[in-house]
Amino acid sequence: MRISTLGIGRLAGALAGILAAAAIASAEPTRSGHAVVAFRSPSGNVHCVIDATPGQTATAACELRDYSGPAPVKPADCELDWVAGASLDAKGAVALFACQGDTIQDPRSRSLEYGAAITLGGITCSSATTGITCKLGSGRGFLVSRALIRRL
């Protein structure tokens, strides 16, 4: 069984080309047409990206540097890293954990302070001491923290 990453690889690829640009600190489109914002929790444990590139389904993904909660067993056919995190697309599809070979983690991404939120492409991610929540207006989404990864 192959675990769907719901575009985490696409996000990581888009982010890799954009990280060098200062535009990642804002939700403004870059010269390449990407509308991408990267951020991390104040503790630096959760790293997230929202990609609302025109013409594509908006997607949010978060990864954890350290995760102590329950996790599904890494699938035998996963030859890459088994990543603790979650992703959401603007159509409401949510995936937890992913088999992937790249990362969206970047210590240079801006800190989303506790109590703050970012909205892009219809997806809102908010930061709290209990973790980072990303969701649609319908309430569908996910919560990630050091001890918990779950669908909303």
pTM of the model: 0.78
H or E element: which one contains 92? none
Confidence of residue 33 (pLDDT cuts 50, 70, 90): low
In the predicted structure, residue 17 carries a pLDDT above the cut 90? no
In the predicted structure, residue 29 carries a pLDDT above the cut 50? no
Summarised one tens digit per residue, pLDDT across range 85-110 is 999 999 999 999 999 998 999 888 99
Other Cβ atoms less than 10 A from the Cβ of 101: the count is 11
The residue-averaged pLDDT of 4-27 equals 40
Q: What is the pLDDT of residue 55?
A: 87
The residue-averaged pLDDT of 32-47 equals 88
In the predicted structure, residue 26 carries a pLDDT above the cut 60? no
Quote helix, strand, coil % in the chain, to nearest 5. Answer: 10, 40, 50
Give the Cα separation of 14 and 37 in Å (integer): 11
- Taking all residues of the chain, what is their mean pLDDT, rounded to a whole number? 83
Confidence of residue 140 (pLDDT cuts 50, 70, 90): very high
Q: What is the pLDDT of residue 7?
A: 46
For the chain, the domains span 8-151
The residue-averaged pLDDT of 31-42 equals 81
In the predicted structure, residue 18 carries a pLDDT above the cut 80? no
Beta pairing, strands 36-40 & 110-111: parallel
Per cent of the chain over pLDDT 70 is 78
Give the Cα separation of 150 and 55 in Å (integer): 29
